Amino acid sequence: MALWIRHHSKDVLEGELRSWTRKTPAGRQLVCEFCCRCGTRVFHQMSDQSEILSIKPGTLDTPLDLEPVAHIWTSSAKSWVQVPAGVLSYRETPPTFDEIFGAWQARKRRSVRSGSEGA
């Protein structure tokens, strides 16, 4: 699971991170940061999209109750995975995250108008 955010700043409050870079199937560079003590991946960032950061939400102190607005890499999904209707779906990583951010903002606006909290 990944929580992609735009215009971020990050502070690591405890421990030390190390990074490694890998080439994506599309030929782009992905910087992966992980805890040097336990090896858990914490952040991902495309080197050509420095304004966007992927946080691994399971690493956050406060669990988030967010419902996904998109699924990526569905081309490698297991046969039992079902992408819900009305959720964006991409066979691989989309070229930009603009459509995904737009879907999240639209859901947030609907949530505010209806008086719900959360996603």
Model-level pTM?
A: 0.60
Q: 74 and 97: one domain?
A: yes
Domain with 74, as residue range(s), is 65-119
Neighbour tally for 100: CB within 10 Å: 19
Q: 57 and 69: one domain?
A: no
How far apart are the C-alpha atoms of 54 and 44, rounded to whole Å? 5
Number of domains in the chain: 2
Q: 52 and 72: one domain?
A: no
Q: 53 and 100: one domain?
A: no
| Contacts of residue 79, Cβ cutoff 8 Å, sequence gap at least 6 | none
Q: 72 and 115: one domain?
A: yes
Residue 64 is predicted with a pLDDT of 66
Residue 119 is predicted with a pLDDT of 45
pLDDT digits (tens, 9 = 90+) for 50-83: 888 988 877 777 766 677 889 998 999 999 999 9
Q: 50 and 2: one domain?
A: yes
Residue 116 is predicted with a pLDDT of 60
Question: Which parts of the chain have pLDDT scores under 50?
Answer: 119
